[in-house]
Amino acid sequence: MTQRAGGGRVKATIYSIATELGISASTVSRAFSRPHMVNESVRERIMATATAQGYELNRAARGLATGKTGLIGLVVLDITNPFFPPLVRAIERAASASDASVLLVDAESGGADAAEQLRRLSGQVDGLIVASTRLPKAVLQDAVGSTPTVLVNRAERGIPSVVCDNSEALRQAADHLVTLGHRRILLLQGPDGSWAAKQRTAAVRGWAKDAPGEVELIEIGPVEATFEAGWAAASEIAAQQATAVMAFDDFVACGVVGGLAEIGLSVPGDVSVVGCDDVLLARTVTPQLSTVKVDFDELGGRAVALLSDVSAGRTARNVVVPGSFAPRGTTAAV
């Protein structure tokens, strides 16, 4: 802000900057919209004066001049799932560090209008980050059109992506259960159509093939990634006489803990439970949930960096972030 005679303050503009420096307003404007067209020393003086005056660049005006909005569109599958808030925060932090803002859209669990939401959003932003979408690949590509796009928590050939590979961590979790004496382990599969659910199921099945002969893997599902789905599965878990459960994610796992308690089974006294993702809920329940951890800051930061590469036309490589197993209070010896 600039000082007005009499002690008041007025909003800084390109004209106030130009007046102070004794140059034209058009030169100041070009320093922001087309910096390559302004002499470096002049541009540095303009930026220093703009900072001193507290000048804030109007994004709409910059968009008219450069064709860039400074906005990243972020589409998440279901904001009520605890997986997404820390991911959103990580992406917003990384975007802010790159002088970009995030426009968040909740796709309402992949409803029929998800493609239309993407289509509308793609025309308003410089690029898209789409997390955990279940849209068919062809529908997804048609919806985003030519807008630079990065997928998170899903990998598709021909679309840049950032995913968390939990395969090794899930195997470590299963080995942990066997070490504790569990021989009848139940896999509670995730949602039908979910890329992450398929990957996690494949990892546990792969482990089971190499497990000792006396270990039995039981599978039920698919179930939706909700607390209620985990709660509802508790009776079948008990009927299967499983001593340990590996749930699709932490939200489902916490539902399992609550459902088992309702029918008189304690965790980990009667049944051990393992989740996946290490969301805040996993650390606030009692006992704390044994789970597979994902680094949300790295996941979000890498997604924003990858989108920058895609937008700039640079070669984009798919990014894989490894998970890690964290044994806590919901697993114990048989």
The span from the CA of 254 to the CA of 31, in Å, is 54
**Distances in whole angstroms, Cα of residue 33 to Cα of each of 54, 65, 69:** 18, 6, 12
Going along the chain from its start, the domains and CATH numbers come out as 2-66 (1.10.260.40), 71-164+296-323 (3.40.50.2300), 165-294 (3.40.50.2300)
State pTM to two decimals: 0.79
Digit-coded pLDDT (tens) for 14-70: 889 999 999 998 898 888 766 778 898 998 999 899 888 888 766 555 554 555 778
Count the neighbouring beta carbons within 10 Å of the beta carbon of residue 34: 11
pLDDT of residue 334: 94
Tens digit of each residue's pLDDT, the chain (334 residues)? 444 444 445 678 888 999 999 999 889 888 876 677 889 899 899 989 988 888 876 655 555 455 577 899 999 988 999 999 999 999 999 998 888 899 999 987 555 588 888 988 988 899 999 999 999 999 999 999 999 999 999 999 999 999 999 999 999 999 999 999 999 999 999 999 999 999 999 999 999 999 988 999 999 999 999 999 999 999 999 999 999 999 999 999 999 999 999 999 999 999 999 999 999 999 999 999 999 999 999 999 999 999 999 998 988 889 999 999 999 999 999 9
